[in-house]
Amino acid sequence: MTDPATLDAEALIEHILTRFHEAHRRDLPPLQAQARAAVARGAPPALAEHLDAMAVALEQHQFKEEMRLFPMMEQGGNTLMGHLIDDLEAEHRLHEDAMAALHEVLAGWPDDGADAQALRAGLGRLFADLAAHVQLEDEVLFPRFSAGGRRRT
Binding site for Fe ion (CB under 5 A): 65, 137
> For residue 125, what are the contacts with CB-CB under 8 A and spacing of at least 6?
27
For residues 108 and 143, which CB has a smaller minimum distance to Fe ion in the complex? 143
Cα(52)–Cα(35) distance, integer angstroms: 9
Cα(32)–Cα(122) distance, integer angstroms: 10
CB of 57 to Fe ion, least distance (A): 11
Cα(144)–Cα(138) distance, integer angstroms: 10
For residues 48 and 137, which CB has a smaller minimum distance to Fe ion in the complex? 137
Cα(27)–Cα(126) distance, integer angstroms: 7
CB of 102 to Fe ion, least distance (A): 18
For residues 54 and 65, which CB has a smaller minimum distance to Fe ion in the complex? 65
CB of 15 to Fe ion, least distance (A): 11
